[in-house]
Structures are given as C-alpha cells and as structure tokens.
Amino acid sequence: MKRIKNALISVYYKEGLDRIVAALDGAGVTVYSTGGTLDFIKSLGVEARSVESLTGYPSILGGRVKTLHPNVFGGILARRDNPHDGQQLEEYDIPVIDLVIVDLYPFEQTVASGATEQAVIEKIDIGGISLIRAAAKNYRDVVVVGSVDRYDELYRLLVEQDCCTTLEQRRRFAAHGFNISSHYDSTIFNYFNRAEQLPAFKCSIMEGEALRYGENPHQKATFYGVRSAMFDQLHGKEISYNNMLDVEAAVGLIGEFSEPAFVIIKHNNACGVAARPTLSEAWEAALACDPVSAFGGVLICNRELDGATAARVGEIFFEVILAPSYSEEALAALQVKKNRIILRLKEFVRPDRQFRSLLGGVVEQERDAQVGGLDSEARPVTTLLPTSEQLADLIFANKIVKHSKSNAIVLARNNTLLASGIGQTSRVDALNQAIAKAKSFGFDLRGAAMASDAFFPFADCVETACKEGITSVIQPGGSVRDADSIEYCNKNNMAMVFTSMRHFKH
C-alpha cells in the first residue's frame, strides 16, 4: 500500500471532480493544479498550489506549455526505491507526485463537429497525454486517472482505503491510462492519414464486452464497440455472436428498400424478403418465401411495427426482431416470450470501410455501397427489352443477391424473393439450388426474374433458367463468353440486363 501525499490535477472536464478534491483535502493531500482547474478547486474552498509555483515558469504560448517541465515530470517519474532518483529530487527540490488526474482535449469530438483544421490542431493535447504516459509508466509508485470514467473508482479508493492504493490497483489504472493515450494517438493519426494515405492500419475502440461465446460454445468472444449506437435492446436474453452477425446482415439488406419491407435472415443470408404497400402484407409475403428456414431467424422491417402484424409475427419462433419503432400493442404481443430479443433500430451512419483479420494481418476495403442496375445504370444487352415490371423485379433481385454469399443466384417476382441459391462452388449449382427450393414451396417460376452476383462464364445458366420459365436476367457481364448468353436469350425471347458491377460476398 502506498499513501497519496501529493497530487497533480489538470482537467478539461470538471464534472464529478469536486468530491475527489474534497476527499484529497480531507486527507491532507497537497494539490497542484493549472489554469481553469486551479480556479475550480479554489472555488470549492480548497487550497491548491499552482504548477507555476512548482516550475518557476508561467503558462506560455497561449497555454500550449504548462506542465512540460522537469520539476513536474521528475516528481512523477522518480522511482521511490531508487536512491539516485531520491538524491536528485532532493538536490533540485522536486516533490514526488503520487496521483495524476488529467484528461485530454476533445480532439475526436472537435473533428466530428466539422471544425476547421486549425481548430482541430489546437485540440491535439501535448502536456496531458505526456502526464498520462509518465504516470502510467511509473505505476509502481503513482496512480493515474486519465478520464472521468475512472472518477468513481478513484473516489471509492480514497474514501475506503484512506488515500492509499495497492500495486494491483495502480497497475489497473495504468492500463486504463495507456488505453486512453493509445486511442488518442490512433485518432490523431487517422485524421492526418485521410489525406496522406500511409499504408498503416490503426483502429482503436475504447469499449468492449465479453459475449457468452463465439460462433460455437467452445470459442470465447468479445464485442468491441458501442451497440447502443445502432440499437436499443428492449427485451430478451443477451445477444450472441451469431445474433450480431445476422443483425449486421439484416441491417445491410433492409437499407436497400425505401418502401415498406420485411426481411428474414438465417446464417447471414436472406430466406425471406418482400416489399408491399403495408408492413403486414410484406410480412406475410416474406414468411411465405421459406417458412422452414424462418424458424430461429432474425427479422427486420423498416416501418413501425403495429400490434396486428406483431401478433402474426409472434406465431413463429425467432431469435431477434428489429424495427425503427414499436407500438405498445406490438411490444406487448412480442414480449410474451422472455428470451425473444427485441431491438429498436436507431438512425445511424454505417462505416464506409470494412476490415477483417486475414493471414495473420488485416485486410481493409470500401463497403459495397452500390447496387448496380438502378435506373440509367442498367444496360439492356438483348433484343427484347425488359418491361417496367420486369426491370423492377430485376432491381429487387439484384438488391438481394448483393447481400448473399457467393456464388449466389436469386429468383424474384412482384417484389418478393422466390428462392435463392447461396454459397455454392459453381453458379450452376447455385441456380439449381434456387430452382429446387422454389419448387419445394410451390412457386411457379414462369415470368420470374433471375439475378446473379457475378457474370455467367457460359450460357448454361440462362438455358436452365429459360427451361423453368424465367424471362428476365440481371448480371454484371464481363465474361469472354457473354455473347453466348446474349445469343441464347435473343433466340428464346428473354430480356437480359448488364450492370457492370459484381457483388461477390465471402
């Protein structure tokens, strides 16, 4: 146990600081402080000494230099069990500092506010981050508190342990300190690297929570991030790793639709999608796509969920449901199952970059934010042009295939998913899987639209589709044998559209 005798306090945010100052003052701790923090402490009726009295220098350069001085850092970094360090402190009349409370200028918030570059630069903290690193380095003797998030923990120690701390406690505070400093530096680097594009990857997330397990019960897992930024959990058990993967897939797909729509996701792929004038109609049509796979799925809609529709939704077993809002009747209907996870989706901006661990490193890419085939993007390549109804079906199918695991084929009609073939090693297998599934649920494929996530290397897929009555096709194009597929469509009165945009998803 080490007792705190001298403390340095210099903070930007002062909420919650008053009771800590009172506890230190009550224990007879000498407090050093700077600028506005010093004024705040004195306003509490507590005597404190200015850092200038310690350094012999005033704050200079408009406040850019206040604490960067050997009399400050010597008192923090001195090793109490090192006789030579002790001799030098005595020689230069430097008091040891046992507690450092400091936070950092709000750089991240200033960037997010859209401030000018000069304003952003002025919010790069120099002294504060140096104090955090110094105190954290010397955790054997010094307690460092780098943000208001640790105020409660510090206050408990001050009161319950009479201003004494253990080595284990100081090490924990040091870990938090380095978490803060590393995140701060990463944020600054990423701000500058938007223009420079140095080949370096730095991603820092300050918050994390352990999950029940990963993809399987024998795998440990942690989620890093703030889930509440995307949704509020209104009911149900703890969300799992696999639930989160399905939620991510669901949010991505529902975002493609502006009209009322319902999506059912199973293992990251859509097994039911429909858009209709009303949400209740969309639900009935989406469920009819594949009521077997819908069991245990993740559901999402893009309108407030009403009570009548919720009652029908609640007739099946599902893991998670997301909606932008729920009526009181809808919540009552859904909450009858205690484990059912009910999430209220918030307005949020999806990141424009994606990354994943790969080969011992990280691969980063732009998010696939385009669909292809919309309006003027669609390029008819056949003699027979698609009708407006066919083009609507093609675009609908293409939205779904974009979010399906490759190789993928999607069959759709009248703003409804009929079936899909997903995750196959050949495009022919994907098509055959989709046809077989559609037939198993009694769908007539005559007049249906077919979407492919990548080009057809041969004409075999359009031949198979034609034999099932499919009359329109949308695909990226780009095969050296495109002409074969086009020729077959022309001979068999099929309309085909190229998007020039592939949608592989792995």
Instruction: State which amino acid sits at residue 466.
Output: C
What is the DSSP code string of 23-37? Answer: HHHHTT-EEEE-HHH
User: Would residue 464 be called left, alpha or beta, if left means φ above 0 and alpha means ψ between -120 and 50 degrees?
Assistant: alpha
| Pairwise CA distance, residues 310 & 333, whole Å | 6
Q: Active site residue: 2, 14, 267, 439, which one?
A: 267
Residues paired with residue 233 on neighbouring β-strands, in sequence order: 343
Judge whether 425 and 459 are in contact, CB under 8 Å.
no
Please enumerate in sequence order all residues whose Cβ is within 8 A of that of 389, keeping only pairs 6 or more positions apart, or say none: none
| Pairwise CA distance, residues 299 & 316, whole Å | 11
| Pairwise CA distance, residues 341 & 434, whole Å | 30
* Sheet hosting strand 261-266, strand order edge to edge: 231-235, 341-345, 318-323, 297-301, 261-266, 269-275
Q: Quick one: tokens of 327?
A: 């009526």
505 tagged catalytic? no
Cis amide bond preceding 190, omega within 30: no
| Pairwise CA distance, residues 334 & 313, whole Å | 8
Judge whether 100 and 7 are in contact, CB under 8 Å.
yes
SS3 state of residue 43: helix
Instruction: State which amino acid sits at residue 265.
Output: I
69 tagged catalytic? no
Q: At what angle do helices 151-160 and 17-26 cross, to 10 degrees?
A: 20
Q: Where do we find the tokens 């105190």?
A: 135
Q: Quick one: tokens of 300?
A: 């999402």
Q: Active site residue: 137, 183, 202, 439, which one?
A: 137
| Pairwise CA distance, residues 456 & 485, whole Å | 8
| Pairwise CA distance, residues 368 & 371, whole Å | 8
Backbone angles phi, psi at 223, to 5 degrees: -100, 125
- Residue 376 is classified by DSSP as G
Give catalytic residues, as residue numbers.
137, 267
